[in-house]
Structure 1
Amino acid sequence: MLLFLYNLLLPFFLIVSFPFYLRRMIRRGGYARNFFQRFGFFSHRIKAELSKGGWTWIRAVSVGEVLTGLRLAQELQKQDPGCRILISTTTSTGYQLGLERTKGWAQVIYSPIDFYPLLRPIWDLVEPKRVVLIDSDLWPSFLAVARKNRTPVFLANARLSPRSESRYRRFRPMAKLLFWNRLTAVLAQDRPDARRWIGLGLRTEQVSVTGSIKYDTEGATQEPNLRFVRWLEQRGIDSTRPRLLGGSLHPGEEELLITVFQLLRTDFPDLFLVLVPRHFERTPEVETLLRSHSIPYALRSRAEFARDTNALIVDSTGELNDFYQTATVVVIGKSFRGIGGQNPVEPILAGKPVVCGPHMENFKFLVAELVREGGIKQLTADAELAPAVRHLLMNPKSAAQLVSNADRVLTHHHGATARAAALVLEPGESW
């Protein structure tokens, strides 16, 4: 009955919300390409490929989840070379990243709308052998179709914050019926997460602790992109020039970084500022800020750099890790103005000292461990940011120790990807 009501109301919700999504699609761009894949319409080439069946279908919402899904997909193929990978994503940026990173070894499509009559023919076409949902990509109709077709469903890299747990608890019987009873296994990031999942009504044998795929840096190295480094050097931004980078920034955080930058220029006249907005369509807003502070700037999307350029706006997608490689100090976005924070692992893996604000709720346990071990500088107020960055710029040994401590924390998650892949590939009888 609940599923019937959900599918009855969903079309009305889609109609009402369409103007909002249309505006967002126009702002961000890229959504028009293969838009109708969301409704089950595929080109003849893709349809022929999908019809081969037997896929391991990995669903990932956006860029961060796609990166996690790709890492798991590669490990699945390492453990089972015959494993056929289908990755679906919701956003245009996630879709583009998936295409760029797979280059033929996996099929990438847009995730279909969660409407039962629409999903059934897509399922019949794809005939997935198993489904892997990354983080929390839970949809009632998708799970119902999987159950009807007796397809095992794994929730990988599963994270459940206390806040999300309390929300699910309010609707515990409904959530159990629509979600938990239809999951084969939950692969939790840590023991506290596992306890929360079990507390929501999942059976103990349904939940395993694998560690975080996102934080699994075993065997991972990040070599500088030499072409990218040359691009910067040709514009006068070589390795001798200290660089302050704000990654995945939310509204209000660019203003904070600009203020800090101007304060520090007295001590570091060659300091260069790199601003990476979370959504590149906010570029005009950031340009206005820099102009109002009389800071000469350039855009990543344009080739020209004036000689007096002191700041760069990264108005592109998929390059944040490359920019992390070139930074001297990294400030984590969504941690001063937003709620939840952004993933600190990438800059740590790039060997950079990391500073964040008080709002790192989405990475609460990791950040608590990093703070405890001296692997990250977490601040409680805006006024602390300039002194913290100044200290790291003036004391390279302190910065190096911060990175070393952070690396030690990440070793706790080594092997998470391999453990998750092994559980996904276990024969169905064991479930």
Structure 2
Amino acid sequence: MHVLYNILAVILVVLATPAFIMRLIREKGFGQRLAQSFGFLPNEDVELVAKKDCIWLHAASVGEIVAASPIIKEMRRTFPNKPVLVSVVTATGYAMAKRIITDADSIIFFPLDLPLISYGVVKRIRPSVFLMVETELWPNFLRAMSHFSIPVMMVNGRISDKSVERYRYLGSILKGMLDTVDKFCMQSTIDAQYVIRLGANPNRVVVTGNTKFDQNYTSVTVEEKNILFKQMGFAETFPVLVAGSTHKGEEEILLTALKKIKKRFPNTKVIIAPRDIMRVDELIELASSFGFLALRRTELLKINNNNHDIVLLDTIGELGKIYSVGTIVYVGGSLVAHGGHNILEPAAHGKPILVGPHMFNFKDTYALFSKREACMTVTDETTLTEKIVYILDHEEVRLQMSRETLKIIEENGGAARNSMIYLQEILQ
């Protein structure tokens, strides 16, 4: 089975070669990323951590980096003398890591999961421990870790319903990967049950909670918040709606609702943060077709304008702070069947939260917030409009939702610290 996996991996890399070449031509910085993916890591980055008993933490993309942020802060407190290496897969994850992971000694792109590449990179760095955020299971890489007797720990572990079914097809490869992991620190009891069902040793599985409850990189002062309002051209505006991590098909629903909301609240302004910032030009045209003027966030930093209706966030790593200026927040990927996105970032600012019915990737936090009426579920533009108008018309509802979100955040903190307790055990 492992041989078959490697054959398929090589075939996929070969098939992807034309795409790699096109991206090398068109995409600035892709050459550096590609070189690192093939194991050619910059000496200046590697020298800081290689063979120095570093802690290597791997977080694939933006969401995992957010979860990793409080873990690394606790790591620094617990192991102040150990170098920290962070690896990512995506360019957006790399940009986010550079922005919010200030305690890392080195940030690199994760190597492709091919035998010689994985073995070579692990041999060169030789960390004291490898931490993977959520569910980053890579057969060849974990086999290399096992070869060099390097302990492996899963932190903020999460297994989606789809992943449970998908992983079953890996057969003996999955069993080999799970046997490599010394400790599974899972977000919830459900996640723990899932990973055990997949074949993890129950004695190695613990529930530590969700580290995203601990994140504080999005904190803003009153002064910073006022600056954001001014930069957006929204000074003394009410209400401001923030739609975070939206996907294709959701913006039409939002803009349809906005036309109705403006009849009741004519000064309504909206900030839309598309999950894919490459869609910003498309959304400017879409907004115009609805009769709205939409401007880029980066454009507003250069001009003084307050005649626009919509700000389109075209920067990486800012959304967590931008949530602070919203009166109400809609979290995207949920009115379409994508599975939703992280609701803890707006919750950390005490915001009333709206989501669609498709929150299966964040089922536990969604269930918790819904049960305590800290977030509301909408199904289409009609219910989206009705819920927003209802919250805006009833200040006591808005304040109660705000209090409840902050209370939930406070009650569920401590996952990062819990993870460090188990990391200490492994390293000892």
User: What is the TM-score with the length of structure 2 in the denominator?
Assistant: 0.93
Measure, in 2, the Cα distance between the counterparts of 1:271 and 1:25.
43
Aligned to 2:226, which of 225, 229, 232? 229
Residues 30, 92 of structure 1: 8 Å contact kept: no
Mapped contact 1:235–1:305 kept (Cα < 8 A): no
Structure 2 partner of 1:359: 358
CA contact (8 A) 1:239 1:326 kept: no
Question: What is residue 263 of structure 2 aligned with on the other side?
Answer: 266
Partner of residue 200, structure 1: 198
Measured in 2, the distance between the counterparts of 1:339 and 1:263 equals 26
Q: Does residue 1:277 correspond to 2:274, yes or no?
A: yes
Report the alpha carbon displacement of residue 327 of structure 1 after superposing the two structures with TM. Answer: 0.7
Aligned equivalents of 1:245 and 1:139: distance in 2? 36
**Counterpart of 1:244?**
241
Shift of the 358–24 alpha-carbon distance from structure 1 to 2, 3 Å rule, reads: farther
Report SS of the residue matched to 1:301: helix
Where 1:151 maps in the other structure, the secondary structure is: coil
Amino acid corresponding to residue 286 of structure 2 in structure 1: L
Identity %: 27
Q: Tell me the alpha carbon deviations over residues 195-222 of structure 1, each in whole angstroms, 9 at most, x when there is no partner.
A: 22222222111101101112236x8882
Return the alpha-carbon distance in structure 1 between the equivalents of residues 379 and 9 of structure 2. 42
Q: Give the 5 Å matches for 1:15-94.
A: 15-20=14-19, 30-94=29-93
Determine the C-alpha separation between the residues in 1 that align with 2:222 and 2:33. 30
Q: Measured at CA, do residues 174 and 52 of structure 1 come closer, stay the same or move farther in structure 2, by a change above 3 Å?
A: closer
Q: Within 2, Cα distance between the matches of 1:243 and 1:29? A: 35
Out of 178, 181, 186, the position equivalent to 2:179 is 181
Within 2, Cα distance between the matches of 1:350 and 1:317? 19
Q: Which amino acid aligns with 1:121?
A: G
Question: In 2, are the aligned partners of 1:55 and 1:129 still within 8 Å (CA)?
Answer: yes
Report if aligned partners of 2:49, 2:84 keep a CA contact under 8 Å in 1.
no
SS of 1:150's equivalent? coil
Q: CA 1:249–1:48 in structure 2 vs 1: closer, same or farther (change >3 Å)? A: same
| C-alpha contact 1:156 1:186 (8 A) present in aligned 2 | yes
Bigger CA drift: 307-316 or 124-133?
307-316
Structure 1 stretch displaced more, 19-28 or 286-295: 19-28
Amino acid at match of 1:43: P
Task: Indicate the SS of the match to 1:214.
Answer: helix
Letter in 2 for 1:273: V
SS in 2 for 1:426: helix
2:287 is equivalent to residue 290 of structure 1: yes
Q: Which amino acid aligns with 1:73?
A: I
Deviation at 1:293, TM superposition (A): 1.5
Give distance in 2, aligned partners of 1:278 and 1:234: 21
Q: Is the 8 A contact 1:298 1:305 kept in 2?
A: no
Greater Cα offset, 363-372 or 128-137: 363-372
Pairing 1:278-357 to 2, within 5 Å after superposition: 278-302=275-299, 303-357=302-356
1:118 and 1:347 map into 2 onto residues whose CA distance is: 40
With over 3 angstroms needed to count, the CA separation of the structure-2 counterparts of 1:43 and 1:256, relative to structure 1, is same
CA distance in 1, matches of 2:202, 2:170: 20
Instruction: State the 1:105 CA deviation.
Output: 4.2
Q: Which moved more, 1:12-21 or 1:279-288?
A: 12-21
TM-fit CA distance, 1:251: 0.3
Map Cα deviations across residues 103-123 of structure 1 (whole Å, 9 max, x no partner).
Answer: 464210111111110122211
In 1, the alpha carbon distance for the partners of 2:22 and 2:403 equals 44
* Residue range with higher mean Cα deviation, 353-362 or 368-377: 368-377
Q: CA deviation at 1:389?
A: 0.6
Cα separation, 1, equivalents of 2:179 and 2:219: 40
In the alignment, the residues of structure 1 paired with residue 157 and residue 101 of structure 2 have an alpha-carbon distance, to the nearest angstrom, of: 23
C-alpha deviation, 1:422, in angstroms: 1.3
CA contact 1:57–1:131 (8 Å) conserved in 2: yes
- Check 1:343–1:295 CA distance in 2 against 1; reply closer, same or farther (3 A cut): same
Unaligned runs of 5+ in 1: none
Name which of structure 1's ranges 57-66 and 374-383 shifts more when overlaid on structure 2: 374-383
Q: Deviations over 1:282-321 (max 9, x none)?
A: 1111011011112122111112254421111111111101
Q: CA deviation at 1:44?
A: 3.2
Amino acid at match of 1:211: G
Which residue of 2 is the match for residue 96 of structure 1? 95
Query: Cα deviations across residues 210-250 of structure 1 (Å, max 9, x unaligned)?
Result: 01112236x88822474563253266411443111110100
Equivalent residue for 1:253?
250
- 1:119 touches 1:142 (CA, 8 Å); kept in 2? yes
Task: State the superposition RMSD in angstroms.
Answer: 2.3
Counterpart of 2:141 in structure 1 is 142
Number of residue pairs the alignment of both structures matches: 426
In the TM superposition, what whole-angstrom CA distance separates every residue of 1:258-293 from its partner, at most 9, and x where no partner exists?
111111111111110111100100111101101111
How many angstroms apart in 2 are the aligned matches of 1:236 and 1:381? 29
Aligned partners of 1:109, 1:344: CA distance in 2, in Å? 28
Deviation larger for 40-49 or 255-264: 40-49
Q: Name the residue aligned to 1:130.
A: 129
C-alpha distance in 2 between matches for 1:210 and 1:220: 21
5 Å matches for 1:141-180? 141-177=140-176, 179-180=177-178
Deviates more, 1:345-354 or 1:95-104: 95-104
Distance 2:90 2:342 in 1: 19
Q: Per-residue deviation at 1:22?
A: 6.1
Give distance in 2, aligned partners of 1:330 and 1:100.
Answer: 23
Q: TM-score normalized by structure 1?
A: 0.92
